[in-house]
Amino acid sequence: GLLLISSAIVMAIAFITYTPSDPSYLYGNDKLVVHNMFGIYGSIISDFLLQSFGLTSFLLVVSLISWGSSLMINKKIEKNLLKIFFVNLYLIFGCTFFYINFNNSFWLIDSGNSGFLGEIIYNYILSHFQNIKNNYLSFVLFFLTFLFFFLATDINLKKIFLKIINLFKKNKEDKQINLYKNLLNK
Tell me the three-class secondary structure of 146-178, residue by residue: HHHHHHHHCCCHHHHHHHHHHHHHHHHHHHHHH
* Strand residues in 1-160 grouped as ranges (E): none
Spatial distance between the Cα atoms of 23 and 41, rounded to a whole number of angstroms: 10
Which segments in the chain show pLDDT lower than 50? none
**Would you state the pLDDT for residue 170?**
62
* pTM of the predicted model as reported, rounded to 2 decimal places: 0.74
**Would you state the pLDDT for residue 139?**
87
**Would you state the pLDDT for residue 86?**
93
Identity of the amino acid at 141: L
Q: What is the pLDDT of residues 114-154, one digit of tens each?
A: 788 888 888 888 787 766 666 678 888 899 999 999 888 88
**Furthest-apart CA pair in the chain: how many Å?**
78
Spatial distance between the Cα atoms of 97 and 142, rounded to a whole number of angstroms: 6
